[in-house]
């Protein structure tokens, strides 16, 4: 079943059950607490919080998502993309657990010829939040899932929130057993590679005030109504329904992967390191194109930095595949626009602009790589000669400061050489540089301006830059 058909089926199923179809919002979050949209519910947050009235009490959507925290998993696990699409049905004070759970089960198990996804019941496992007897009962008594395929988990796995203050609640997840060739038996608690999480049903019920991390937050009270928020991964469904090993091999993404293999004259499936690079190139090019299409431009901070990092990782993985001085992003962008254009026709209309942005980033980054790589190699050689296992903070700083090597690139390249990087030393030098810049600015004091106001701003800007990629979207689970 093609990706586009999976999306159509999901929408149709819920439309037939009284849901209004709403188009995906832009990846650029309107929500000021987020840079990019990591989940389908984000555009609906004001409805959950009772701040705005939803257009209908039941909605269904296919939302474009970006999850930067998953970037290091890409290509290594079978199931993490930076860009993916979340299919979701939503209820705002309308139905709750007793209806949402049977809806999910029905869609998954109904035969393909009858509009469903045709999953055999015995392949499905579910989890519920440890205290949620109500959900466990619905799964067991109403739906008929045997007790030994219902597992209970704690806050880390079965409680959903945005990673920032906002709505949240216990959740119930549905997993597909891919069989013994994928790992140990024993359900999702034992092995999340074999048991692939496909759908999360969140019982959005509470207002969270402070969120310190995934498992440490304050509940301020109940939301104005009890709501349903669900998220099903389109790419994961496609991997199962298309009988492929991982989400990089599904209809859309595989065409990009295959083109990358062709361009670099690499054979997919021969060498595990090259395979990871091919998956990264395919995933990141796709994410990059989708971000540019939503108006993001590469830059050194905020969402622009997320885009820059994603594109640069793609460009660099092409070097790992032996691209040398060749420029392949134009071709790969064209393939991406072509395959994603079926669901997102605006990509085709905007193709010229998307190419201009991505081509320019490739040109600039290849220049950075050309000068920086020689310096990097020399630094690595010196460290190895000294018998050191760590690249000095001063070397990482020089690479950043003089050659425009972002620290994450240095970290990655050092890692490939089996070296660590003295990150603390690097951060210290960065801070010293910022402090110097601040002192200089203060010394220059122009006009009557009170510089203290600006130093506060500088500090903030510095912090955004510094936190960079790993803090740009909420840790969402």
Q: Give the interface with ligand ATP as residue ranges (CB under 6 A).
A: 67, 70, 79-81, 84, 86, 197-200, 231-233, 235-236, 247, 476-477
Q: Which does 176 bind (CB under 5 to 8 A by kind): ligand ATP, Mg ion, none?
A: none
- Residue 306 interface partner, choices ligand ATP, Mg ion, none, CB cut-off 5-8 Å depending on type: none
The interface partner of residue 198, options being ligand ATP, Mg ion, none and the CB cut-off 5 to 8 Å by kind, is: ligand ATP
Q: What angle do CA 69, 72, 75 make, to 5 degrees?
A: 125
CB atoms within 10 A of CB 111: 10
How many other CB atoms sit within 10 Å of the CB of residue 28? 15
Rounded to whole angstroms, the Cα distance separating 409 from 401 reads 13
Which option in Mg ion, ligand ATP, none does residue 67 bind, with CB closer than 5 to 8 A by kind? ligand ATP
Q: Which is nearer to ligand ATP, 54 or 231 (CB)?
A: 231
199 binds, among Mg ion, ligand ATP, none (CB under 5 to 8 A by kind): ligand ATP
CB of 117 to Mg ion, least distance (A): 18
For ligand ATP, the closer CB: 39 or 138: 39
Q: Which is nearer to ligand ATP, 252 or 395 (CB)?
A: 252
Q: Between 7 and 413, whose beta carbon lies closer to ligand ATP?
A: 7
Minimum distance of ligand ATP from residue 434's CB (angstroms): 33
Closest of 186, 192, 284, 100 to residue 477, by C-alpha:
192
Compute how many other C-beta atoms are within 10 angstroms of the C-beta atom of residue 361: 22
- Smallest distance from Mg ion to CB 96, Å: 19
Minimal distance in Å, beta carbon 240 to ligand ATP?
10
What residues pair up with 221 in beta bridges, in sequence order?
Answer: 207
Q: How far is the CB of 73 from ligand ATP (least distance, A)?
A: 7
| Exposure of 24 in the CB half-sphere (CA atoms within 13 A) | 22
Give φ, ψ of 165 to 5 degrees.
-55, 140
DSSP state of 28: B
Nearer to ligand ATP, 172 or 264 (CB): 172
The site partner of 84 among ligand ATP, Mg ion, none (C-beta below 5 to 8 Å per kind) is: ligand ATP
Output the smallest distance, CB 69 to ligand ATP, in A: 9
Q: Which does 132 bind (CB under 5 to 8 A by kind): ligand ATP, Mg ion, none?
A: none
Residue nearest to ligand ATP (CB): 233
Please give the Cα distance from 334 to 355 (Å, whole number). Answer: 8
Query: Nearest distance from residue 15's CB to ligand ATP, in Å?
Result: 21
Choose between 75 and 462: whose C-beta lies nearer to ligand ATP.
75
Binding site for Mg ion (CB under 5 A): 197, 200, 477
E strand or H helix at 200: strand 195-213
Q: Return the axis-axis angle of helices 272-293 and 329-340, rounded to nearest 10°.
A: 70
Whichever of 233 and 468 has its CB closer to ligand ATP, that residue is 233
Cβ of residue 26: shortest distance to ligand ATP, in angstroms?
19
Q: Do the Cβ atoms of 240 and 184 come closer than 8 Å?
A: no
- The DSSP-derived string for 210-262 is EEEETTEEEEEEEEEEEEEEEEEEHHHHHHHHTT-SSGGGSHHHHHHHHHHHH
167 binds, among ligand ATP, Mg ion, none (CB under 5 to 8 A by kind): none
Determine whether 40 is exposed, middle or buried from the number of CB atoms within 10 Å of its CB (0-12, 13-18, 19+).
Answer: buried
* Max CA pair span of the chain: 75
User: Of the two residues 86 and 329, which places its CB atom closer to ligand ATP in the complex?
Assistant: 86
Token pair 């509470």 in the structure block, residue: 206
Q: Which does 233 bind (CB under 5 to 8 A by kind): Mg ion, ligand ATP, none?
A: ligand ATP
Q: What angle do CA 38, 293, 80 make, to 5 degrees?
A: 35
What residue is closest to Mg ion based on CB? 200
Which one, 200 or 395, has the nearer CB to Mg ion?
Answer: 200
What 3-state class would DSSP assign to 199? strand
CB of 236 to ligand ATP, least distance (A): 4
């Amino acid at each position: 079943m093609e990706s586009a058909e999976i999306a159509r089926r999901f929408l149709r199923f819920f439309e037939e059950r009284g849901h209004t179809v709403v188009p995906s919002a832009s990846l650029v979050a309107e929500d000021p607490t987020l840079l990019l949209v990591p989940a389908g519910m984000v555009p609906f947050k004001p409805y959950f919080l009772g701040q705005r009235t939803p257009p209908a009490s039941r909605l269904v959507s296919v939302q474009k998502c970006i999850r930067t925290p998953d970037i290091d998993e890409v290509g290594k696990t079978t199931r993490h993309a930076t860009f993916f699409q979340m299919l979701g049905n939503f209820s705002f004070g309308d139905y709750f657990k007793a209806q949402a759970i049977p809806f999910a089960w029905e869609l998954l198990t109904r035969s393909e010829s009858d509009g469903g996804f045709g999953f055999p019941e015995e392949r499905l496992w579910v989890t519920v939040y440890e205290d949620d007897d109500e959900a466990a009962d619905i799964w067991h008594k109403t739906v008929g899932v045997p007790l030994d395929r219902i597992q209970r988990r704690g806050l880390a796995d079965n409680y959903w929130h945005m990673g920032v203050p906002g709505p949240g609640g216990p959740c119930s997840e549905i997993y597909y057993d891919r069989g013994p060739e994928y790992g140990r038996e024993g359900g999702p608690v034992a092995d999340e590679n074999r048991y692939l999480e496909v759908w999360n049903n969140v019982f959005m019920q509470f207002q969270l005030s402070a969120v310190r991390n995934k498992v440490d937050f304050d509940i301020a009270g109940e939301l104005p109504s009890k709501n349903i928020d669900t998220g099903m991964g389109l790419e994961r469904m496609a991997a199962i329904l298309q009988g492929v090993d991982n989400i990089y091999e599904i209809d859309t993404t595989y065409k990009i992967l295959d083109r990358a293999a062709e361009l670099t004259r690499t054979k997919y499936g021969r060498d595990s390191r090259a395979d990871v690079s091919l998956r990264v190139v395919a995933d990141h090019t796709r994410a990059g194109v989708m971000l540019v299409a939503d108006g993001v431009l590469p830059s050194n901070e905020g969402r622009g930095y997320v885009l820059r990092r994603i594109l640069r990782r793609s460009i660099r993985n092409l070097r790992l595949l032996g691209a040398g001085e060749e420029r392949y992003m134009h071709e790969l962008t064209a393939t991406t626009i072509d395959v994603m254009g079926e669901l997102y026709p605006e990509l085709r209309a905007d193709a010229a602009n998307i190419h201009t942005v991505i081509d320019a980033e490739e040109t600039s980054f290849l220049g950075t790589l050309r000068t920086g790589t020689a310096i990097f190699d020399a630094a690595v050689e010196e460290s190895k000669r000294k018998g050191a296992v760590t690249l000095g903070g001063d070397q990482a700083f020089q690479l950043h400061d003089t050659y425009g090597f972002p620290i994450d690139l240095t970290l990655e390249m050092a890692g490939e050489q089996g070296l660590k990087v003295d990150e603390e030393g690097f951060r210290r030098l960065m801070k010293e540089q910022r402090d110097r810049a601040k002192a200089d600015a203060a010394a220059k004091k122009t006009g009557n301006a009170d510089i203290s106001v600006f130093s506060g701003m500088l500090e903030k800007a510095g912090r955004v830059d510094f936190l960079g990629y790993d803090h740009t979207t909420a840790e969402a689970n």
